[in-house]
C-alpha cells in the first residue's frame, strides 16, 4: 500500500482519540504519506504521534491566526503540503426554534469561516508547488435532512458550495477541491447518541447497502480523492452506502426504535 | 505488490478500439489483479485488444438481453464468479430536438436506456456474492448544450435508472454507480479533437486546464470497483470541473 508515497498531508480535526481525522491520518500514513495531525488538544495529538507517527500541530480552527500558523508550521516541518483534509466538526443537535445566536456564531466560526480561511491559507502554498488536493469532510445531511440539526446542515451545505467555487477558480493551478459526505458514523462526535439503545438501529433502513458507514470507509474515499490519479474537482462525493437515495430516520422513528430497544432490555 | 482487484472477476462492455475507455479500464483492471472478460458488439474488433491486455474476448450487443445473459455466464463459467461489471457501450447521436428524428430517439434509447437497464439486470443476476456495477454517464447529462439532444437526454435518464437500481440492489450487496467523463480524448472523440477550434472552446471551460484521458476514467472505475468504495447510486464526475461551468455550443467552434 503506497498510493500516497512521497505526499505531504495536513489533517485538521485529529485531536480526538479514534476520531475520523485520526482514522484518515492512520490510513494516509499506511499509504506512505508524511502526515501532520492538527487540532486543539496537544496531549491527544502527541499520543497519536507517539503511537502512529507523523507530527503534531496545534490549531484552533475558529481562529484565523491559528489556522495560518498551522499551515505555515506544516509547510516548514513537512517541506510543503500536497494534501489537506478538514475533518473538524461540531455535531450540534438543537431544535431550530431554540438555537441561540451564540450557538450559531460558534457553528459558523467552525464550519464555514474555518474552512474558508483554511482554503485561503492553503491556496497560495499549493499554487506555488504546482497543485494539490483539498478535501473537506461534509455530511449527507447537507443534501438530505435530519431534524434538530439546522445550524450544522446549513453550514455544511454552505461549505460544499464554497468547495465548488474555490475549485472553479484555482483548478488552473492544479489545485483540486472536493468534499466527501459520510452518513451517520460511530465516532467520538456521536458517542453520546450511539450509546442510546436502539438509536443507531433506526438509521440502518436508510442504507441500501444494509449498514451505516465507518471512519475507515471515509478514509478510503479520502485516499482516492487525495491521490494524483483522481481527476475530479468541485465535487461532493457521497460515501455513505446510498443513504441519499433514501433518508435519515425522523424524530418519531428514532423515538420508536429507542422505546422498542428499551422494552427489549426490560 | 498486491493488486487492488486481486481475486476479482470483471466484465467490461464497450471496447472496440485500443483508445477506448473500455480498453484502458481493462488494462488497469488486469494490472490490479482482476480476471477480465472484454466485450464489444463485434468480436473481431475486441479480440486483438483482449489479447493485448490478457482478457477473454466476447461479442455482445447491449440491446440483446440474451447476449448480455450469455456474457455474464461466460465470466462465471470461465472464472467462477462475477464481481464487477462496467458498461461503456454508447451511441453517438447528434442533433437538436427539432432536428432529431424518431429513429434517432429510439436508437439512443435502445442503447443508453434499454441497454443499460438490461445490462444492470443481467450482471446483477450473475453476481452471487454482491459486486459493483458501473455505467457510463456523460458531461452532457450534467451541463447541457444545444445539440446532442437524444444523447444527453438518454444518458441523463440512465443516471436515474442507475439510482433506482442502486436503491433496489443494495440488499444483494451490489453497488451501482456511473462515471461522467468530461471531454475525453478517445477513439469516439477523435474527430472533435482533430479540430483546434473545438479543443479550444472546450479547454476554456475546464477548470483543471487539461482534457480527461481514458486512463483518468479507468482510475475512477478502479476506485468504484474496489471493495473499499462504500458508495452507491452516485454519478462520479470526472469532467475536471467542467460541470461547474458549461458545455460550449457548436457555433463557438470557429
pLDDT digits (tens, 9 = 90+) for A12-48: 999 999 999 999 999 999 999 999 999 999 999 999 9
Best residue of B208, B222, B235, B246 to probe chain A, by most A CBs closer than 10 Å: B208
| pLDDT tens digits for range A88-115 | 999 999 999 999 999 999 999 999 999 9
- Chain B residue numbers with beta carbons less than 8 Å from the beta carbon of A24 are none
- Chain A residue numbers with beta carbons less than 8 Å from the beta carbon of B216 are 229, 231
Whether the predicted pLDDT of A225 surpasses 90: yes
Whether the predicted pLDDT of B1 surpasses 80: no
- Chain A residue numbers with beta carbons less than 8 Å from the beta carbon of B220 are 230-232
Give the integer Cα–Cα distance in Å for B186 and B172: 34
Model confidence at A116, pLDDT cuts 50, 70, 90, reads very high
Q: Hey, is the C-beta of B186 within 8 angstroms of any chain A C-beta?
A: no
CATH number for the domain spanning A28: value is 3.40.50.720
Domain contains A202: no
Average pLDDT for residues B200-226, to the nearest whole number?
97
Mark yes or no for CB contact A171/B219 under 8 Å.
no
Tell me the pTM: 0.96
User: Is beta strand B56-59 parallel, antiparallel or unpaired with respect to B35-40?
Assistant: parallel
Domain contains A218: yes
Q: What separation, in Å, do the N-terminal and C-terminal C-alpha atoms of chain A show? A: 48
Provide the mean pLDDT of chain B: 96
List strand residue ranges (DSSP E) for A5-139, in order. 8-12, 34-39, 55-58, 83-86, 132-137
- Chain B residue numbers with beta carbons less than 8 Å from the beta carbon of A208 are 166-171, 232-233
Give the integer Cα–Cα distance in Å for A64 and A121: 9
Average pLDDT for residues B216-245, to the nearest whole number?
98
Whether the predicted pLDDT of B73 surpasses 70: yes
| pLDDT tens digits for range A30-39 | 999 999 999 9
Average pLDDT for residues A6-10, to the nearest whole number?
98
Q: Hey, is the C-beta of A198 within 8 angstroms of any chain B C-beta?
A: no
User: Which pLDDT score is estimated for A190?
Assistant: 85
Using CB atoms, pick whichever of A224, A233, A242 lies closest to residue B240.
Answer: A233
Q: Kindly list the structural domains of chain B, giving each domain's residue range(s) and its CATH number in brackets, ordered by start.
A: 9-188+212-243 (3.40.50.720)
Q: Hey, is the C-beta of A234 within 8 angstroms of any chain B C-beta?
A: yes
Active-site residue (options: B88, B151, B183, B211): B151
Asked whether the ipTM of the predicted complex exceeds the cut of 0.85, the reply is yes
Mark yes or no for CB contact A229/B233 under 8 Å.
no
Domain contains A266: no
Mark yes or no for CB contact B228/A217 under 8 Å.
yes
- Chain B residue numbers with beta carbons less than 8 Å from the beta carbon of A210 are 170-171, 173
Mark yes or no for CB contact A176/B208 under 8 Å.
yes
Domain contains A97: yes
| pLDDT tens digits for range B87-145 | 999 998 999 999 999 999 999 999 999 999 999 999 999 999 999 999 999 999 999 98
Mark yes or no for CB contact B207/A167 under 8 Å.
yes
Domain contains A199: no
> Domain tally for chain A?
1
Residue that is written with C-alpha cell 479500464 in the block: B25
Q: Hey, is the C-beta of B31 within 8 angstroms of any chain A C-beta?
A: no
Using CB atoms, pick whichever of B166, B212, B243 lies closest to residue A245.
Answer: B166
Q: Hey, is the C-beta of B245 within 8 angstroms of any chain A C-beta?
A: yes
Provide the mean pLDDT of chain A: 97
Q: Hey, is the C-beta of A176 within 8 angstroms of any chain B C-beta?
A: yes
Mark yes or no for CB contact B240/A235 under 8 Å.
no
Dig out the grid coordinates for B171 from the structure.
440488499
Domain region containing A16: 8-187+213-245
Domain contains A250: no
In terms of Cα–Cα distance, which of B57, B202, B207 is closest to A167? B207
Give the integer Cα–Cα distance in Å for B8 and A228: 24
Mark yes or no for CB contact A221/B231 under 8 Å.
yes
| pLDDT tens digits for range A122-132 | 999 999 999 99
Domain contains A81: yes
- Chain B residue numbers with beta carbons less than 8 Å from the beta carbon of A176 are 208
Amino acid at each position: 500500500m503506497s498510493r500516497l508515497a512521497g505526499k505531504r498531508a495536513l489533517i485538521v480535526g485529529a485531536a480526538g482519540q479514534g476520531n475520523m481525522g485520526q482514522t484518515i491520518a492512520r490510513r494516509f500514513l499506511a499509504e506512505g504519506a508524511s502526515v501532520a495531525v492538527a487540532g486543539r488538544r496537544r496531549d491527544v495529538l502527541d499520543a497519536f504521534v507517539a503511537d502512529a507517527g507523523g507530527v503534531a500541530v496545534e490549531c484552533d480552527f475558529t481562529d484565523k491566526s491559528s489556522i495560518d500558523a498551522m499551515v505555515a508550521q506544516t509547510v516548514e516541518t513537512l517541506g510543503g503540503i500536497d494534501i489537506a483534509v478538514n475533518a473538524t466538526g461540531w455535531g450540534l443537535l438543537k431544535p431550530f426554534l431554540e438555537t441561540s445566536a451564540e450557538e450559531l456564531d460558534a457553528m459558523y466560526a467552525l464550519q464555514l469561516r474555518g474552512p474558508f480561511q483554511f482554503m485561503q491559507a492553503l491556496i497560495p502554498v499549493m499554487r506555488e508547488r504546482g497543485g494539490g488536493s483539498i478535501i473537506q469532510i461534509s455530511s449527507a445531511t447537507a443534501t438530505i435532512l435530519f431534524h434538530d440539526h439546522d445550524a450544522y446542515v446549513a453550514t455544511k451545505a454552505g461549505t460544499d458550495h464554497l468547495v465548488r467555487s474555490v475549485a472553479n477558480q484555482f483548478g488552473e493551478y492544479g489545485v483540486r477541491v472536493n468534499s466527501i459526505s459520510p452518513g451517520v458514523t460511530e465516532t467520538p462526535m456521536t458517542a453520546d447518541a450511539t450509546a442510546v439503545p436502539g438509536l443507531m438501529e433506526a438509521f440502518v433502513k436508510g442504507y441500501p447497502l444494509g449498514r451505516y458507514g465507518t471512519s475507515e470507509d471515509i478514509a478510503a474515499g479520502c485516499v482516492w480523492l487525495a491521490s494524483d490519479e483522481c481527476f475530479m474537482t468541485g465535487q461532493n462525493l457521497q460515501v455513505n452506502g446510498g443513504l441519499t437515495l433514501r433518508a435519515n430516520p425522523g424524530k418519531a422513528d428514532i423515538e420508536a426504535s429507542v422505546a422498542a430497544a428499551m422494552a427489549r432490555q426490560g | 505488490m498486491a493488486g487492488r482487484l486481486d481475486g476479482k472477476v470483471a466484465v467490461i462492455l464497450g471496447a472496440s478500439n485500443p483508445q477506448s475507455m473500455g480498453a484502458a479500464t481493462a488494462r488497469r483492471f488486469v494490472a490490479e489483479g482482476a480476471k477480465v472478460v472484454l466485450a464489444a458488439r463485434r468480436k473481431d474488433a475486441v479480440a486483438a485488444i483482449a489479447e493485448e491486455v490478457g482478457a477473454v474476448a466476447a461479442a455482445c450487443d447491449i440491446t440483446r438481453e440474451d447476449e448480455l445473459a450469455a456474457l455474464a455466464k461466460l465470466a462465471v463459467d470461465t472464472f467462477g464468479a462475477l464481481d464487477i461489471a462496467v458498461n461503456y457501450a454508447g451511441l453517438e447521436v447528434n442533433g437538436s430536438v427539432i432536428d432529431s428524428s424518431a429513429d434517432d430517439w429510439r436508437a439512443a434509447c435502445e442503447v443508453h436506456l434499454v441497454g443499460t437497464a438490461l445490462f444492470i439486470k443481467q450482471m446483477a443476476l450473475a453476481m452471487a456474492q454482491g459486486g459493483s456495477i458501473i455505467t457510463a454517464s456523460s458531461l452532457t447529462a450534467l451541463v447541457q448544450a444545444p445539440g446532442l439532444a437524444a444523447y444527453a437526454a438518454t444518458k441523463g435518464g440512465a443516471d436515474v435508472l442507475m439510482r433506482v437500481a442502486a436503491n433496489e440492489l443494495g440488499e444483494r450487496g451490489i453497488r451501482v454507480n456511473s462515471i461522467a467523463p468530461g471531454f475525453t480524448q478517445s477513439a469516439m472523440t477523435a474527430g472533435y479533437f482533430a479540430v483546434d477550434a473545438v479543443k479550444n472552446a472546450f479547454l476554456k471551460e475546464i477548470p483543471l486546464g487539461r482534457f480527461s484521458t481514458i486512463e483518468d476514467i479507468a482510475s475512477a472505475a478502479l476506485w468504484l470497483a474496489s471493495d473499499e468504495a462504500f458508495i452507491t447510486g452516485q454519478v462520479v464526475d470526472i469532467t475536471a470541473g467542467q460541470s461547474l461551468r458549461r458545455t460550449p455550443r457548436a457555433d463557438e467552434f470557429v
